[in-house]
């Protein structure tokens, strides 16, 4: 009996191990993001830091084809600039955060931060004078620089694996932001050949090496910890914004529309009752 039991236990353990290697991805646990609730908004400082992480880590392999640099400075973007009156001097000044009240939005074509970010990029494009592909500094209307000219080149440089486009990645994965965060922080440290173990990835083996490490991206703000968890949370925040840049506007407008519809429906209800008050039905 004991023998049978141990045998069964051994089978169970082995079975579980095999199931682990071939089976379903682990369900990502809930990570608290500021955009989760129906009235939640983006933490723009986190989105800015997340953009930095994307630029310095992810962008060497992953494209974001549907975003242009100008998107960063449009209304609801992490680098949107506003003219506000300074508390100290009383002068109008341009700031790169959403003012708590007041402030006039500065059109993205006038936004120095976004111009700066774009001009730091080297974009390969057709030169209008020579007709040849040449490198030039980026403009705000340029799309995010692609690390590889096409999928074949991307696969060739990554051992056959294709680093997916990240423009809408949080929409394109079950679990959304929670999944991305879990994946980035879920590496077990084991690897099999060129594949790395990660229980959140379907099949548990992912071709992407652990991208984040302690201190790999230097943050300017000394109060923000430079840990894998912080980097992962920030870059996830950025990717969520990238996939759903109008979320704040959507939620704000939603409150107005729903409030209006509630009032209208109540009025319609009374009107309906009024019409039918002398009719039996």
* Contact footprint for another protein (CB under 8 A): 4, 7-8, 10-11, 14-15, 18-19, 22, 38, 65-68, 70-71, 74, 108-109, 128-129, 139-141, 164-165, 167-168, 171-174, 176, 202, 243, 245-246, 249-251, 253-254, 257-258, 260-265, 267-272, 274-276, 279-281
CB-based contacts of 42, cutoff 8 Å, min separation 6: 34, 35, 78, 237, 240, 241, 247, 248
Collapsing DSSP to helix, strand or coil, 213 comes out as: coil
Closer to another protein by Cβ: residue 95 or 247:
247
Least Å from the CB of residue 230 to another protein: 26
Give the nearer residue to another protein in terms of CB position, either 67 or 212: 67
Name which of 231 and 241 has its Cβ closer to another protein. Answer: 241
Rounded Cα–Cα distance for residues 218 and 147 (Å): 22
Q: Shortest approach of another protein to residue 53 CB, angstroms?
A: 22
Least distance in Å: CB of 35 to another protein? 12
Q: For residues 10 and 153, which CB has a smaller minimum distance to another protein in the complex?
A: 10
Q: How far is the CB of 92 from another protein (least distance, A)?
A: 19
Structure tokens that stand for 66 in this block: 């549907």
Rounded to whole angstroms, the Cα distance separating 75 from 173 reads: 26
Give the closest residue to 46 by CA, choosing from 28, 32, 34: 34
* Number of residues in the chain: 281
How many Å apart are CA 27 and CA 174, to the nearest integer?
10
């Amino acid at each position: 009996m004991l023998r049978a039991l141990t045998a069964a236990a051994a089978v169970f353990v082995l079975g579980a191990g095999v199931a682990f290697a071939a089976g379903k991805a682990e369900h990502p646990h809930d990570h608290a993001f500021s955009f989760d609730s129906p009235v939640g908004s983006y933490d723009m400082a986190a989105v800015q830091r997340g953009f930095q992480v994307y630029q310095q880590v992810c962008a060497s392999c992953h494209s974001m084809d549907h975003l242009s640099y100008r998107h960063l400075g449009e209304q609801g973007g992490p680098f949107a600039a506003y003219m506000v009156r300074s508390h100290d001097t009383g002068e109008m000044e341009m700031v790169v955060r959403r003012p708590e009240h007041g402030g006039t939005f500065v059109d993205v074509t006038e936004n120095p931060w976004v111009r700066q970010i774009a001009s730091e990029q080297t974009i390969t494009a057709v030169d209008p004078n020579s007709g040849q592909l040449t490198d030039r500094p980026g403009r705000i209307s340029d799309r995010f620089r692609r690390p590889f000219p096409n999928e074949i080149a991307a696969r060739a440089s990554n051992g056959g694996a294709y680093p997916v486009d990240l423009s809408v990645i949080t929409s394109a994965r079950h679990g959304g932001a929670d999944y991305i965060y879990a994946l980035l922080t879920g590496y077990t440290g084991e690897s099999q050949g060129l594949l790395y173990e990660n229980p959140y990835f379907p099949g548990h083996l992912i071709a992407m090496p652990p991208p984040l490490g302690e201190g790999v991206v230097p943050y300017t703000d000394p109060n923000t910890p430079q840990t894998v968890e912080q980097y992962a949370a920030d870059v996830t925040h950025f990717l969520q914004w990238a996939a759903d840049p109008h979320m704040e506007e959507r939620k704000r407008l939603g409150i107005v529309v729903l409030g209006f519809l509630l009032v209208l429906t109540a009025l319609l209800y009374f009107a309906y009752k009024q019409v039918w008050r002398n009719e039996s039905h």
